[in-house]
Structure 1
Amino acid sequence: MGYSRYDPAKQNRSAWNAGKTVGTKRPLNQKQIWAIRFHLDREGRLRDRALFDLAIDSKLRGCDLVKLKIGEVVAGCEIRSRAIVMQQKTGRPVQFEITADVRASLHAWLESRGGTVSDFVFPSRVDHMKPMSTRQYARLVDEWVTAIGLSKAEYGTHSMRRTKAAMIYRATGNIRAIQILLGHTKIENTVRYLGVDVEDALLLAERTEI
């Protein structure tokens, strides 16, 4: 039996994930959210505070978050309380809320940023006509979590997407609601995404009296 010339073992190269934590990234808890907010406010980083807050509230994938345009989150002179975007991965629309505190941080950033409704909310540093790259977004998330003492191996951009969904699930146990909020096409994907297991199911059952 032969070996492929691309086989890392044959070339004495380590696998791409050697020594790395792979799999689902952990969601943030309330204390960690406020710690990151405090760090960004102390540093006066309006853009990063708005990006962090919107990432948590919107529950969007990184590719959809960075491509948000001003017109999608602004109506007239006000930040929308709800917005809707077309997901790049599924081609389906998903709606999300923008809560009062997040509207405030987003308003502060957009007031400083300027621009028109057709401009990106978070433009690229190199070309302001293009959105921030998902790679840059991932670097920022790594920076935020390490700033408060967390491991970037355990937290990433999907932590931002999972955080509020995980909180809602723990509070309600309503997987169907989470499926809608995350824009998943199948509820099985939501179950896997949240890491729902037998223990969760039994706890929910024990809380339900008939």
Structure 2
Amino acid sequence: MVEPPRHAGSPMNTPHRLDLDDVRIRLGGQTLVALDARIGPGEVLTVMGPSGSGKSTLLAYLAGFLAPEFQATGRILLDGRDLGDLPAERRGIGLLFQDPLLFPHLSVAGNLRFGMPRATADKAARVEQALARIGLADYGHRDPATLSGGQKARVALMRLLLSAPCAVLLDEPFSKLDTHLRQEMRQLVFDRLREAGLPSLLVTHDREDAAAAGGRVIELSS
């Protein structure tokens, strides 16, 4: 899913840091987002705000696909390296969306293999271990269409982690799950991100998401 920056040759559990240095995003002369933050290894920064407050625009800027009508200044530093001039696929940033976005033409195992770095040794064994860790052992051959919503969400999370990102952006990933699954996925996602030492930024309108993330919360106005 992501290609780590060329300076990154470290294992997935190597601690990383994401710095947002005086980031400002404008549209038509109006400032939508003004943010200065440091996100350490395993920390989650939550950005909250109503629709239209700039949450999705901020994610687009960090991920590298900000629409040209917006103007952005400031620096995005990942482990001290400025990502501003890098294309999205070279930033080493993984994304988790509201929808799992599994590839329908690939099996569950195929979805997990898709995001793994080319140099990964023994991909089949890594996939089996990953599925066992999320309670889906022996599901590798399954068609993603046969999975429940919660199972799809777990596969999407593990696909993200296996892609070896250096930082993660979370775009309201729990909003389409029912109450029980939402609580389960919050714990699974934040536990795995902390375990991997990944700095993460969550955008949400749900205060329970923010509480579960356990980190600093920044409010954007409409």
- Considering only CA atoms, is the larger Rg found in Structure 1 or Structure 2? 1
Name the one with the larger strand percent. Answer: 2
Name the one with the larger helix percent. Answer: 1
